[in-house]
Structure formats: C-alpha cells, structure tokens
Amino acid sequence: MPTATPISRVNDFVVRFANVNGSGSASANEMFARAILRMGVPVSPRNIFPSNIQGLPTWYEVRVSEQSHLGARGGTDLMVAMNPQTFDKDIAGIEPGGYLLYDSTKPLPASKFRADITVIGVPLTAICNREYSDPRQRQLFKNIIYVGVLTALLDMDVKLVEQLIGEQYKGKDKGKDKLIEPNIKALQIGRDYATLNLDCPIGLRLKKTDKVGNRIFIEGNSAAALGAVYGGATVCAWYPITPSSSLADAFTRHCAKLRVDPETKQAKYAIIQAEDELASIGMVIGAGWNGARAFTATSGPGISLMQEFIGLAYFAEIPAVIFDVQRAGPSTGMPTRTQQCDVISCAYASHGDTKHVLLFPEDPAEAFDFSALSFDLADRLQTPIFVMLDLDIGMNHRLSRPLAWDDARQYDRGKVMTTEQLEAGKEFGRYLDVDGDGIAYRTYPGTHPTKGSYFTRGTSRDRYAKYTEEGAPYVDNMQRLIRKFDTAKDLIPRPLQANADKPTKYGVIYYGSTAPAMDEAIAMIEARGHAVDRMRVRAFPFHSSVNSFVAGHDFTFVVEQNRDAQLRSLVVNECGIDPVRLVPINHYDGTPITARFIAKAIGDHLDALKIKPLKVVS
Amino acid sequence: MTYLAKPKFHHPDLPKNSLGFTHRDYEGTVSTLCAGCGHDSITASIIQACFELAIDPHRVAKISGIGCSSKTPTYMLGNSHGFNSVHGRMPSVLTGANLANRDLIYLGVSGDGDSASIGFGQFAHCLRRGVNMVYIVENNGVYGLTKGQFSATADRGSKSKRGFINTDNSIDLVAMALQLGATFVARSFSGDKAQLVPIITAAIAHKGAAFIDVISPCVAFNNHAGSTKSFDFVREHNEAVNRLDYMSSRMPIEVKYEPGTVEVVEQHDGSKLTLRKLAADYELHDRRAALGFLQHHAAKGQIVTGLLYVEHESEDLHAHLHTIERPLNALSEKELCPGQAALDKINASLR
C-alpha cells in the first residue's frame, strides 16, 4: 500500500502519457481524450512535443474536468509512463496518492518507484510480442492496448472507444476498413488483461454526464484558418514555421472544401508557400494593395524577419493580416513551447515611429471571430492587423463554443473610391483625411483611365501622395496616423470585465491563452480569502476602460506568459500609468500557465499586504 | 523634381494609337535621374512599347524596389498605379498584386543591386513560379544612389571610378533566368532602342515570366575606361543574336524577309514576333543551347543581346494554381463566405 492515500476522484483528474515521438502514440492518446468527451465529460488535452520528428520524448496530457476547467492544472494524477528516457522525471511529477501505469515486461527494482503512489504494471511489450510478429504492429498496437487497459482502470465506456476506432479507420487501407477489427481486438486485449489481473477500477473514475453540451473540439489554428475563409481572405502567403504551419495547412484544407467552384473546379483563393517570411509578407502587402484580402501565418522569428515590410504597410497604409502563433523566444528559443512573448515586437514592429493593432483571442472560437474580424479591420484601417495566438491555443484541441456566423453580415471593405465616384468628380487625395478619423480613401489599381491613380511609396509624401521631404507635410501625415490609431480603439474588441462579489482594491489584467487558467484561479484566490476584479484585454490599442480599471484599484496584477511583462509595459507606456500600480505576474518556462501558479502568485502577494501596521496612528 | 508634372499640351498632329492615345498619355513626371542616364532611355522604350501596343494606360501596375532604376516607374505611365516598395522585394509585392488581380499588366522594374544582391532570392523565386509579368533589370553594374560601389553584376576585373578592381565573380541574371525557368528571356542595351522596344512589346504580350536584362550605363559612376558597363564598352562588345519585330494579332505581316533568315514566333494572344537572325546558329527555344551560347561568348568578353529564349506553350502562376478566371479582388462575399449552414456542418463534424 502506498504511504499516501490513493487519490479518489470522479471526472476530475489529469492523465499524462509519456511517449517517444514517432511511435504512433498521438492518435491512440487523442482517441482516449475523445472517448471521454463522448461520455459528456469535458477534457482539455495538451501536446507537449519536441522540435523533432522521431526518437525524442513527447507527452500528451489530458485534463479531465467536469467543471470545464480547460487551462493546464499542473501535476499528474495518472502517469502512463511509456518512455524509459524520461521515466524517473515522469514519476517525480506524479501527485502524492497518484497512479503510475508502466510496461512491466522487464521488472524494475522498487527503488525506481515512489512509496506514495500506486504502481500498476502491465507487461505491454510481452503481450505485443506474443500477439504480433510484425515490429511496427507491435509498436502501434501497444498504444491501443494501453488505452484498453485505461478503459478498465478508469471505468470507461469501451463501446465509445470502439466507435471512435470505427470512425477513425473507416475507409482507410484502400477503403477496405481492414484496420478497424485489429484495433478493436488490441483494445480488448488490454481491457481483458486489466480486468483479469488488476484491481479495477482505481480511485480515478469516469462517469457519464452531460457537461460537454454543444461545444466543439477544435485547434485554434484550424479555427483561425476557418475565420480567414469566412472573413473573405483570398490570398495566403506563408513560410513554414512551428507552431503556425498548421494554420496555413488548415486554410489549404478548408479552401479545398469550401472555396472551389463546383462547376469549373477553379479555386477562389491562391496560396503560396513562399521562399521566406520576407516574401510572404511582401506578397500579402502586394495583394492587399491590389484589393484582395490577404494574410500570412508565422511565429516570432518570422515577425523579426518581416519588420521592414510591416513598417512599409504601416506607413504606406496597406491592409494586411498577420497571424502570430507565438512560441518561446528569443532567437530560436523553444520552438515547440508556448509563450506570449511577441507582444511588444508586434505592437511596435519596424523602425521609426510605428504602432499596430493587436487582437488577443482566448480560445478557438474567439480565434475564429477575431480572424474574420481582422480582415474587416485591415480594410477599414488600411494597416497591418496582428492576430496574437500562441502554441497553447493554436496547436491543441480545445473545447470551445460552436463557431457562429451571421449570414446578414457584410464585409467592411473600408474606404475605397470607385470608378463611379471618381467619374462624378469626387476629390481624391490618397492621404487626405476627409472624415477626420485619420483614414483616407484609396483606389484599387486599374480603377479609372485618368483619375485616382497614385504612387505608393515608403518615403514621405503629402496628402496627394506626392513625394516630399518637407517637415510640415511629414508631421501632418504622422499626426494623421495617430488619429487613425485612436479611431481603431472604437473598432476593435473591448476588454471584458468581471468584478468580484464584494468590493476590492485589487484588480487583475490578463489576455489570450491565460484566460482558462485565470477563470479557474479566481475561485482558488477567493478560497484564500481574497477578492480581485478581473479584466481580460482583447486588443491593442487599449480602450479607455483599461485606464479606468487600473485607476479604480490600488494595485492591478498583470498576468502574462513572458519574462518581461510585455503587456504591462504597453499599459504603462500607452496609458501613462505609474508602473508601481501594476504588479507583474509572469510565467515563462514554456509550459502553459496554470491556475495553481496564478493563484499562488496573487495569493502570496495579497497575503503579504494583509500584514497589520505595528502602530496605528490616529 | 519628381513632383513636377510635365505640361499636358502637345502638338495637335502627334500620332495616336488605336485607342486614340498619344505618346504623351503614357508619360509620367519629369525624371530626376542624371542627364544621359541609360535608365531614361529604358523608360522611353517602355512608354513607346505601351503606346504601340495600345494598352489602356491605367491597366498597368508598375512595381519597383529601391535604387535609381526603381525610381523610374514615376517617370512613365502616369495614369497607372505604382508601388515603390522596399529594397530587393519588388518580386514578392508584384507576385501578391498579380494574385489579387490577374487582369492587369504587371511591370516590375528593378536594378542590379536590387535584383542580384539584396533581392537575389526573390528574383529567383518569382521566376520559378512563372508569375505573369515583365521583369526588367536596368543593369549598370554599380550602386548609383550610394555613389559608385560595385554591384554583383559587375564583371570580375572591371575597374570602378575610384580605381578599384572588382575581384568577385559576377552574376549573369540572364543565365540565372534561363536556369530558373523564365519563359521569355532577353538582354538588350539602353542605347539600342530599335532592339529594346520590340523586346519589351513582345514581353508584355507574353504570358508567363518574362525577364529582360537591359545593360544601362551609369553616366555618373560607371562610364569610364576599364568599366565593362560603359556605353563604349557595350557598343564594342554587343553580340546581337537577332533583331525583333513585334506584330499584334491585328496586324498582317507585311515586311518581306529573305528566306531562311527569319523566324516567326506566335504568342498565346495571337501576336507574332518576327526575328531576323543575326547569328545563324542561334536556337531560340532551347534553354541549354542558350546557356551554352551565352557562356561561350561571355568567355570572349562579348555581351550577347536579343531575344534569347521563348517557350512556345508558356503557362503562368494562375494556371498552376487553377485560380478562377475573374480577379480574386473582385469576388463578393457571397462567393467567398460559405455561410452559417456550412458552419453548422463543420461544427457537427467537430463533436
């Protein structure tokens, strides 16, 4: 018996699979997660993978949470330890009272285990060697067998896994469905072994419920790509880089289904895998200049490479959408680990005085919404719009509200002067602020034989697009760009505020993928006797409510996933706020931020503030 | 200065093309380049070619990078939109613009610094992709705006104005274009408008990636003895392989040529190029032979000019991508947005 009481919980635990990448474990692990969803129990899976194709450690974590806590929790309740390379570390990560499932074909000394956990051995390799002769089959079916074992240990509905196997392998192997039966057999082998030889079920159990509702299970990159389809993007130029490649891949896939003319089979889109990020953004800018909705998807290093072009699009005022699926920097950093570390490099991208619009979606559904919105914003504001995703949202399946589109919605193509307007004699000045909102009219190339043409350039120019190096027209133009940036504040998504039940002097600001962990942390902070109001910032430039939120609290915590408190710097800089009032809470080890981390950091701070003064002066 | 417009009035008898436009309708603002600059002759040749082809002056998109050559789009086609982008990146901007609207004529103007150095990668990749365009490099072997540094097309052993000898090997953009799959490749000389104008005209009519390297002496920094890009040197070493006459599909071939000295090349739009062969052994449709011919003559210090390669059945990037015939920038939301019904199905598939 373990020295700690075995954990006993229903529909609320974390299972972590430790595998070697390239071993085919991903599809088995994902099937496990999906089967739990089919039981009506919310799950939040995360892939923790190396920048490598075969042979290095990889983990798949499934957080089961009937209460729909979809952020990472930290700690593991059941470790499925299939990788000898990481065995010791994996065992160390198990919660006291937790469980270990390992391959007991080769017996390990008791010293390899911990006294406070329940150790469950299954001779997986021996079973596979007995059942299969082909080495690849031995490897692949081992994964399904351990899923079979888990169905017994956790009291899962095995029929749901069988159903998923049927769906996954239907039509595979040249349409003969030949893979379905052996997979179901492997599942049964595992389940039977566990039922006969192990104490089933263990303290961690699954029970059918109805907490998933109509939510969908989708990766943020795929949802963002769908948003680009719905938002009318026709040109995508990109260069492969983790963790953004799957966004362009998904756009390609979605377009093949949704954007091919049914009769002519011709494409209503163009996708170019460019030679580098410079060419990607160059193509996006060329297409945007010429009136198409265009985007690129990249990550931090790509943003660094695009700097010069981003400045051109800002200064020459050309619509462009850039999806930045952030990963841990600087430099190559940790290419397969998550961070929110490009906030400043995007907000002020390029040389000279520049400022850009950033959107911070919290999950796939919002990634879809903001993606579609970004094309309207780019056209309306005639400037680059950054959609700030990260690896945690982008590359993991997340339970998310269903994607929705209002069929009555019209694209906002912004201020584009037409042939008719030019013909009617409407005055055209490419950089003329006719409406006072800082946004001038543009024309698409080829609009009119004699009116409305202009020269686009990165050099300074007057209101009629004529080259000048005079100081006054330069300042006039730079001031108008600031007016335009102010206009943006009313067009972009506003922050969302949720106040504590009782009045409090403390607030917290957060954004993007931190949201689910923050939602969960609030209850933990309250349990420690503290109350905080919270504000989720959804875009930059900041709405005036950010100023009032900070002004309305003695201290505001700014929780983010980078070392240097980048959003906090933006708030200080752009809202003119005394830095002392903004307390940075930074998580940046490359793993997704957890509720435990946030609750501890904020709780500790607030505990410290509770110290009574030595003497009360009357 | 560039912002000075040229006076619009002109001689009432100035010839008009089939659209009723005069030569003046294809001009831009006054050039700010040095008097005698080869680039101005190229600008004049482009204007002449567009006039002769009777192109709607606003249906061209002029795109350039940075440098003396990249300034020239301001000096031509004043009713066309122009885009002076960033150094070496004209090809990507042009590619994106072309994807957005396949109906315009795309004129990419670049220089040897812009295309052979900082933008060598983009030069290569847009030719690989077969973007439908005319890509002109105004090649003077020198950085003019920064006062006379060698560029990557400067020949090894040539002398700079300050007396330095270039020790780096040069890049021959024509040879590169041939290797990279450009479907129309030519070299000409800014001092030979009779050769250059029909080449530009034919390149505009060509469907696919047309590349023209125009040797264009820099009168300020590269026109001295010891330079291989000076007017004198190019005139002395020019080895023209053919002389081109361009005829649109509307014009009958009227000129009579000696049998065996002429090749007629029909382009996809029905226009015809007649080539008077100057080098009897030159084969116009053979990439490998063209490369061999170039290298053979380069070794002798000769500069091969003329139309050097044309592909009969050329295709462009849109053909490769199977894009819809209408410009992508003209598609409405009805055509682009699948709507909630399709989204409902997608949602259902994600449960």
The pLDDT tens digits of the residues spanning A291-302 come to 999 999 999 999
| pLDDT score, position A66 | 97
Q: How far apart are CA B313 and CA A569, in angstroms?
A: 58
The answer to whether residue A211 sits within a structural domain is: no
Q: How far apart are CA A131 and CA A165, in angstroms?
A: 19
The reply to whether residue B98 touches residue A288, judged by beta carbons under 8 angstroms, is no
The CA–CA distances, whole Å, from A452 to A441, A568, B102 equal 10, 43, 20
Instruction: Supply φ then ψ for residue B107, to 5 degrees.
Output: -115, 110
For B84, which of A215, A226, A456 is closest by C-beta distance?
A: A456
Report yes or no for ipTM above 0.90.
Answer: yes
CATH number at residue A348: 3.40.50.970
Token pair recorded at residue B308 = 């050097």
Residue B204: name the closest of B222, B184, B180 by CA.
Answer: B184
| pLDDT score, position B1 | 42
Overall average pLDDT of the A183-189 stretch: 96
pTM, to two decimals: 0.96
DSSP B65-115: -SSHHHHGGGGB-TTSEEEE-STT-HHHHHHHHHHH-TTSEEEEEEEHIII
Provide the strand spans (E) within A189-338.
Answer: 204-205, 216-219, 235-238, 270-273, 294-298, 320-326
Other C-beta atoms lying within 10 Å of the C-beta of residue B120: 16
Provide the strand spans (E) within A199-248.
Answer: 204-205, 216-219, 235-238
Degrees (nearest 5) of the Cα angle B146, B151, B156?
140
CA distance A234 to chain B (A): 6
The answer to whether residue A314 sits within a structural domain is: yes
Which of A251, A269, A273, A283 is most worth mutating to test chain B (most B CB atoms within 10 A of its CB)?
Answer: A283
The answer to whether residue A618 sits within a structural domain is: no
Is the same domain home to A270 and A394?
yes
Is the same domain home to A25 and A145?
yes
In chain A, residues with a C-beta closer than 8 Å to the C-beta of B123 are none
Residue A63: name the closest of A48, A52, A73 by CA.
Answer: A73
Report helix, strand or coil for B261. coil
In chain B, residues with a C-beta closer than 8 Å to the C-beta of A290 are 61, 96-97, 100-101, 104, 329
CA distance B104 to chain A (A): 7
Q: How far is CA A55 from the centre of its chain?
A: 26
Show which of residues 29-68 on chain A sit within 8 Å of chain B, judged by CB atoms.
none
Token pair recorded at residue B285 = 């449709």
Q: Among the listed ranges A39-43, A272-276, A607-611, B49-53, which one has the minimum average pLDDT value?
A: A607-611
The answer to whether residue A406 sits within a structural domain is: no
Domain-wise residue ranges, chain B: 23-334
DSSP A398-444: EEEPPP---TT------SB--HHHHHTT----TT--SSSSS---B--
For A455, which of B84, B95, B98 is closest by C-beta distance?
A: B84
Nearest CA in chain B to A405: B340
For B96, which of A259, A275, A282 is closest by C-beta distance?
A: A282
Mean of pLDDT over chain A: 95
Is the same domain home to A224 and A326?
yes
Query: What's the total number of domains in chain A?
Result: 4
Q: How far apart are CA A189 and CA A194, in angstroms?
A: 9
Domain boundaries B23-334, corresponding CATH code:
3.40.50.970
| pLDDT score, position A618 | 57
Nearest CA in chain A to B323: A267
Tell me the per-residue pLDDT of A403-427, one tens digit each, with 9 for 90 and over. 999 999 999 999 999 999 999 999 9
Q: CA torsion angle for B31, B32, B37, B41 (degrees, to 10)?
A: -10
Q: Last residue of some domain: A205, A226, A253?
A: A205
CB B236 within 8 A of CB B225: no
Other C-beta atoms lying within 10 Å of the C-beta of residue B119: 26
Is the same domain home to A233 and A187?
no
Beta partners for residue A236, in sequence order: A271, A295
Q: With a cut of 50, list the residues of chain B below it in pLDDT.
A: 1-2, 253
Tell me the per-residue pLDDT of A324-353, one tens digit each, with 9 for 90 and over. 999 999 999 999 999 999 999 999 999 999
CATH number at residue A53: 3.40.920.10
The reply to whether residue A286 touches residue B86, judged by beta carbons under 8 angstroms, is no
Is the same domain home to A194 and A87?
yes
| pLDDT score, position A614 | 67
Is the same domain home to A28 and A166?
yes
Is the same domain home to A388 and A280?
yes
| pLDDT score, position B3 | 52
| pLDDT score, position A126 | 97
CA distance A449 to chain B (A): 5
In this model, does residue A170 exceed pLDDT 90?
Answer: no
Q: How far apart are CA B238 and CA B277, in angstroms?
A: 15
Q: How far apart are CA A309 and CA A315, in angstroms?
A: 10
Range of the domain at A286: 218-400
CB B95 within 8 A of CB B126: yes
Provide the strand spans (E) within B122-183.
Answer: 133-139, 142-143, 149-150
In this model, does residue A185 exceed pLDDT 70?
Answer: yes
Tell me the per-residue pLDDT of A550-606, one tens digit each, with 9 for 90 and over. 999 999 999 999 999 999 999 999 999 999 999 999 999 999 999 999 999 999 999
The answer to whether residue A1 sits within a structural domain is: no
CATH number at residue A572: 3.40.50.920
Nearest CA in chain B to A365: B347
Q: Cα-atom radius of gyration of chain A, to the nearest Å?
A: 27
